[in-house]
Amino acid sequence: MLMKRVQQNILFRVREEKYRSRIKVLETLAAGTTKENEIVTNCMENIKLEKNRVEERERSEEKDVVRLKKEKERSDAEIRKLKQELKVVKETHENQCLELEAKAQKTKVDLEKKLKDAELQVVDSSKKVKELEKLCQHKSQRWEKKECTYQNFIDNQAGALQELNATSMSIKHEVLKTEKKYFEDLNYYGLKLKGVADAAKNYHVVLEENRRLYNEVQELKGNIRVYCRIRPFLPGQNSRQTTIEYIGENGELVVANPLKQGKDTHRLFKFNKVFGQAATQEEVFIDTRPLIRSILDGYNVCIFAYGQTGSGKTYTMSGPSITSKEEWGVNYRALNDLFLLPQSRQNSVMYEVGVQMVEIYNEQVRDILSDGGSNRRYPSLIQYRIWNTALPNGLAVPDASMHCVRSTEDVLELMNIGLMNRTVGATALNERSSRSHCVLSVHRVDRSEATGERLKEAQHINKSLSALGDVIFALAHKNPHVPYRNSKLTQVLQSSLGGQAKTLMFVQVNPDGDSYAETVSTLKFAERVSGVELGAAKSNKEGRDVRQLMEQVSSLKDVIARKDEELQNFQKQKGTNATVLKRGLSNLRLEGPSSPRRHSIGASPNARRAKASSLFGRATSDVDNCSEYSSKHSDSGSQHSSNERKHQKDYHQPSKFAGGAKGIDFDDEDVELVGLGDADSEERLSDISDSCLSMGTETDGSISSAVELTLFPEAVKPLEITERLEPHMLSQKPEKSVKMVKTEQKESRSNIPYKIPKQTVKPPGQTRPSRLSVATSSSSKALTSAKRPTISTSSSAKPLNRRR
Ligand SMILES: Nc1ncnc2c1ncn2[C@@H]1O[C@H](COP(=O)(O)OP(=O)(O)OP(=O)(O)O)[C@@H](O)[C@H]1O
């Protein structure tokens, strides 16, 4: 367009030039003629007009040119811009083209590769297809074969099924017949079983009756039983020098002097049970438990340990540590049991247990749980009287405070308080506890150089110990007079030592060879005690003749014999039933107990009679009386008894010994025991002295702690009490109760009432209270060893009611 305009401009100029030359020509011509001039003028004017128009046109065209120039510049700018854009686009395009080409190249390579792969795959696939085709062909051939086989099999099965259907129909008939027979049998055996169950129920009744009768015999005999416990060697002791040669299962113990060779050094002893060095506290207690149960059945029980110093009395009775229940000794376990048992019987009986704790020192009795703030830590030295005969409630020191307890922890707490009082008292009283045990014999006193107060203490200790020996031997020989009153200790323990009481003595043995002499003396004494019959139940039937009791014993034995026969008959009957049952239910494999365990009462009546009539009826029979115990030991019961009798014959010659310094005759062995026999050998003398000391020290010290648990007679429910108790009894109770409440307020021991009502009169028709005495006795050879004065804890358990 621009070019066009430029060309137009050029054209206009050319025309301008042309017109100008014409004007000149025309002007020349004009000059020739006017007319012509005129014409020419006209022409001129026309031309001028024309010229003006041309100029106007030229101006407008110049304007156009300017405009066009501007447009051209704009166009040029646009062209440049467009060119630049074109260039950028072109570059971009070229780049894109390059990229695309590269991509195309790459894609081409990839595609070629893929194509190759695909071709390979196609080759593989075609191979596989061929293989599969082959396989399929093979399989189809196999399936065809199998089809044929299965077809044959199905044909066979169909045939068998038809046969089975026929068989099943016949079996079904059989099953229906058997089922019918089974239900008939089941009904039959159900009836039989009911019969057996009824018989078993009767068996328990008979068993209970037998147990009761045995306990009655035991009540009449009142034997002491003796368990021997061997202490293990302590660290540092030479375990090769042991005195223990043999421990038999039936309580035999053979000791020998490891320092001397020869036959004579062997000595055989026999007790109710011997616990070896490995026996645990639990095992020891398991054999003690029946006695604890007896307490709740109404028996007084006394348990104490006896042995030389360091032989394990404290270990057996209390245990090494109160914190570990596994190591608890007999007394804590007994307490625990005593509180647990009532719980299991709480549906029928309610028990109330009270505790007393008194100290016997220098033949003075004092209450170390006495009330009153100042007496708590420094107990009053008021002397309490001991009743000549134990009261019907079993209390020997009725004025001592009684504390109601509900658990072992309560008792332990009280024991701690008592111990604290005793300890403080001891300190306040010139360390008397540490000097409280000395020697029994004059020699010992000399050797200890005891004088003044100490001599007095030793004499008191010896007095107590002698008195205990006197009591035991008096009971052994059924003396009409038992010297309980010779010492405070025997007075306090009176109701636990004779008559109705069951007594258990742990004789503790130190197996160390060096202690052989002491061990033998200790065992001799213990064996003598174990052969002791503690006399008839005089306290229970006071005023009756001993002969009457013997008559009762023999009549009871007859009753037992009859019961035995009944039991045997019943066992036979039960055996027959069991056989029938077993035969009938053989498919069900129903196995009942083959026969009830032979209770010791199962021994032949003659054997039992012989046993009961033996002067030295040993504790085995006592132990057998406890049903729990007997179930454990009954199997060996008869054998044991005969062995026992033989042994007793060998070892227990009748003796006239009835009480040491009381002027009663001694036989040789007794004399030997108290150290008055031949002193031809120093060692022997020492043994004897120690033995005596052991015995003697028991009381000091020796029975350093005694826990007595008394069971008050079982009472009826409160409602029934008003019907049954005498008015004087009812009037006494509240009086005591008031005392209890008062002291409780004083003591501010809300959970442990300070005193429980003391029954001073025995309700009619009720049995005597029972009492458990747990005592630790010790003997000492070392005169300087610290011994404690006697601590005696009495507690009473009173069943409040019994459901009917
Ligand atoms: N059965 C036992 N098992 C393990 N150790 C025992 C056993 N019996 C006793 N002992 C240990 O023997 C040592 C002495 O025992 P323990 O204090 O009971 O004798 P003890 O007869 O009470 O002495 P003492 O008469 O001097 O008071 C203690 O260390 C005790 O732990």
Tens digit of each residue's pLDDT (9 = 90 or more) over 511-534: 998 889 889 988 887 877 766 443
Q: What is the DSSP letter of 660?
A: G
Residue whose CB lies within 8 A of the most ligand 1 atoms, among 227, 229, 231, for a mutation test: 231
Our answer on whether the CB atom of 318 is closer than 6 Å to any ligand 1 atom is: no
| Chain centroid offset of residue 750 CA | 30
Q: What is the pLDDT of residue 700?
A: 29
Our answer on whether the CB atom of 483 is closer than 6 Å to any ligand 1 atom is: no
Q: Which residue has the higher pLDDT, 356 or 409?
A: 409
Answer yes or no: is pLDDT of 432 > 50: no
What Cα–Cα distance (Å) separates residue 532 from each residue in 208, 222, 252, 361, 471? 28, 10, 17, 28, 11
Torsion of CA 354, 356, 357, 360, to 10 degrees: -150
The C-alpha atoms of residue 486 and residue 749 are separated, in whole angstroms, by 37
Q: Is 313 labeled as ligand-binding?
A: yes
By the 8 A CB rule, do 272 and 618 touch? Answer: yes
Q: Which residues of 253-274 are buried (b: 16+ CB within 10 A; e: fewer)?
A: bebbbbeeeeeebebbbbbbbb
308 strand-pairing partners: 779
Highest mean pLDDT among 369-378, 701-710, 757-766: 369-378
The C-alpha atoms of residue 567 and residue 208 are separated, in whole angstroms, by 12
Structure tokens at 413: 């707490």
Question: Which is the closest atom of ligand 1 to the Cα of 229?
Answer: 1
Rounded to the nearest 5°, which phi and psi values hold at 641?
Answer: -60, -45
Close Cβ partners of 18 (under 8 Å, ≥ 6 residues apart): none
What Cα–Cα distance (Å) separates residue 369 from each residue in 1, 350, 792, 795? 142, 25, 11, 12
Our answer on whether the CB atom of 314 is closer than 6 Å to any ligand 1 atom is: yes
The long-range contacts involving 7-16, CB below 8 angstroms and separated by at least 24 positions, are 8/61, 9/61, 9/65, 12/58, 12/61, 16/54
How many C-beta atoms surround the C-beta of residue 621 within 10 A? 26
Q: What is the DSSP letter of 262?
A: S
Q: What is the pLDDT of residue 58?
A: 86
Our answer on whether the CB atom of 231 is closer than 6 Å to any ligand 1 atom is: yes
Q: What is the pLDDT of residue 345?
A: 59
Per DSSP bridges, beta strands 252-255 and 349-361 are unpaired
Looking at ligand 1, which residue's alpha carbon is closest to its atom 9? 312
Residue 776: band (very low, low, confident or very high) from pLDDT cuts 50, 70, 90: very low
Q: What is the pLDDT of residue 711?
A: 37
Q: How far is the CA of 320 from the centre of ligand 1 (A)?
A: 8
How many C-beta atoms surround the C-beta of residue 802 within 10 A? 15
Give me the sign of the Cα torsion angle 133, 139, 143, 144: positive
Q: How far is the CA of 243 from the centre of ligand 1 (A)?
A: 17
Question: Which is the closest atom of ligand 1 to the Cα of 508?
Answer: 21
Mean pLDDT value of segment 288-302: 75
Residue 412: band (very low, low, confident or very high) from pLDDT cuts 50, 70, 90: confident
Close Cβ partners of 390 (under 8 Å, ≥ 6 residues apart): 396, 494, 495, 539
The C-alpha atoms of residue 561 and residue 556 are separated, in whole angstroms, by 8
Q: Which residues of 448-468 are buried (b: 16+ CB within 10 A; e: fewer)?
A: bebeeebeebbbbbbbbbbbb
Our answer on whether the CB atom of 310 is closer than 6 Å to any ligand 1 atom is: yes
Q: What is the pLDDT of residue 226?
A: 86
Instruction: Determine the longest span between alpha carbons in the chain, in angstroms.
Output: 218
Q: Is 308 labeled as ligand-binding?
A: yes
The C-alpha atoms of residue 313 and residue 778 are separated, in whole angstroms, by 7
Residue whose CB lies within 8 A of the most ligand 1 atoms, among 228, 281, 283, 314, for a mutation test: 314
Close Cβ partners of 269 (under 8 Å, ≥ 6 residues apart): 228, 252, 253, 254, 255, 523, 524, 526, 527, 651
- Residues found in the chain: 804
The C-alpha atoms of residue 533 and residue 495 are separated, in whole angstroms, by 16
Give me the sign of the Cα torsion angle 691, 696, 698, 702: negative
* 249 burial via Cβ count (<10 Å: 0-12, 13-18, 19+): exposed
Our answer on whether the CB atom of 309 is closer than 6 Å to any ligand 1 atom is: yes
ipTM given for this complex: 0.99
What CATH code is assigned to 222-533+652-766+779-802? Answer: 3.40.850.10
Structure tokens at 339: 């509180």
Q: What is the pLDDT of residue 194?
A: 84
Q: How far is the CA of 310 from the centre of ligand 1 (A)?
A: 5
Answer yes or no: is pLDDT of 116 > 60: yes
Q: Which residue has the higher pLDDT, 363 or 583?
A: 363
Question: Which is the closest atom of ligand 1 to the Cα of 320?
Answer: 31
**Helix (H, G, I), strand (E, B), or coil: what is residue 440?**
coil
Written as one letter, the residue type at 209 is E
Our answer on whether the CB atom of 312 is closer than 6 Å to any ligand 1 atom is: yes
Our answer on whether the CB atom of 320 is closer than 6 Å to any ligand 1 atom is: yes
What Cα–Cα distance (Å) separates residue 113 from each residue in 109, 117, 118, 229, 329? 6, 6, 8, 99, 95
Our answer on whether the CB atom of 701 is closer than 6 Å to any ligand 1 atom is: no
Q: How far is the CA of 508 from the centre of ligand 1 (A)?
A: 9
Predicted confidence (pLDDT) per residue in 214-244, tens digit: 666 655 544 578 899 999 999 888 778 899 9
Structure tokens at 106: 């790459």
Q: What is the pLDDT of residue 36?
A: 67
Our answer on whether the CB atom of 787 is closer than 6 Å to any ligand 1 atom is: no
Mean pLDDT for the chain? Answer: 64
CA atoms within 13 A of residue 718's CA, in its CB half-sphere: 3
Q: Is 310 labeled as ligand-binding?
A: yes
Q: How far is the CA of 596 from the centre of ligand 1 (A)?
A: 40
Mean pLDDT value of segment 288-294: 80
The C-alpha atoms of residue 490 and residue 497 are separated, in whole angstroms, by 8
Answer yes or no: is pLDDT of 180 > 60: yes
Q: Report the candidate in 387, 444, 448, 413 with the shortest Cα–Cα distance to residue 335.
A: 413
504 strand-pairing partners: 225, 303
* 113 burial via Cβ count (<10 Å: 0-12, 13-18, 19+): exposed
* 485 burial via Cβ count (<10 Å: 0-12, 13-18, 19+): middle
How many C-beta atoms surround the C-beta of residue 739 within 10 A? 18
Q: What is the pLDDT of residue 421?
A: 74
